[in-house]
Structure 1
Amino acid sequence: MSTYPSCPACGSAHTYEDGAVFVCPDCAHEWAAGDAAAEGVAVVRDCNGNALAEGDSVVVIKDLKVRGSSIPLKQGTLIRGIRLVEGDAGHIEGNSDRIKGLVLKTCFLRKA
């Protein structure tokens, strides 16, 4: 007997396969077998909804004060070679030309 994944919406274990999708009878949620969001893999997105990946470049969309530094991060600053924070889809790590070791919220970034 094969085991089916738990429902990503309600967490119910009473799921079944219907063709190419899985269905939860408790909440009527349907998802594809290869759906990354349903498998627990967090998809990191910028302010416009574009998916970000390891090594991408992003641009700051708003002037930001940086804790521990007297230099603000200006709008339009390019952050190259970002790193994704494991287990947190709302933050990325990266370096600007002037400030190293930044942790930034993705809502203030857009993909370059």
Structure 2
Amino acid sequence: MSENEQPGLPPCPECASEYAYESGALLVCPMCGHEWAAAEAAEGGTDAGEGSRSVRDAVGNVLSDGDSVTLVKSVKVSGGGGGTIKAGTKVSGIRLISDGVGDHDIDARVPGFGKLQLKSSVVKRAN
């Protein structure tokens, strides 16, 4: 065990780095930037806890935390200065939420607009 590794934390599921650390309720890998829930690591993977709640994009792909998505249609932003997010805008590092306003189920940081909640029906998973 290296001196920087925290005992009891699993390695990063993306890059297998042993330098993961806790940040609130999430585990974070400083090597690749991947974030995952500590509960997922304890269950042995991301598929185990996803059965009860799966969020699908506009074309039917299953979304997960940390995915990159692209808007499939332009979205008007109300409040806080307003504006329109153009179709084709890529958003990286999304978080799926269950307590969003209305039927918004994605928490994201949109370039040029800041933190917003989006509906999964207006995005598709980016490759």
**What interval of TM-score do these two structures reach, taking the shorter chain for normalisation?**
0.5 to 0.7
Shift in Å at residue 100 of structure 1? 1.1
State TM-score, norm by structure 2.
Answer: 0.53
Which residue of structure 1 aligns with residue 59 of structure 2? 48
Structure richer in helix, relative to its length: 2
Whether contact under 8 Å (1:57, 1:80) holds in the other structure is yes
Percent of aligned pairs sharing the same letter = 34
Which residue of structure 2 aligns with residue 99 of structure 1? 113
1:77 equivalent to 2:93? Answer: no
Q: Equivalent residues in 2 for 1:1-112 (5 A)?
A: 37=51, 41-68=52-79, 69-86=81-98, 91-112=105-126
Structure (1 or 2) with the larger CA radius of gyration: 1
State TM-score, norm by structure 1.
Answer: 0.60
2:85 partner letter: L
Whether contact under 8 Å (1:42, 1:87) holds in the other structure is no
Aligned residue pair count: 76
1:47 partner letter: A
Could you tell me which runs of 5 or more consecutive residues in structure 1 were left unpaired when the two chains were aligned: 1-33
Moved over 2 A (4+): 34-37, 86-90
Could you tell me which runs of 5 or more consecutive residues in structure 2 were left unpaired when the two chains were aligned: 1-47
Shift in Å at residue 36 of structure 1? 5.1
Structure 2 counterpart SS, 1:94: strand
CA deviations on 1:24-55 (whole Å, 9 max, x unpaired) are xxxxxxxxxx7954xxx210110111010100
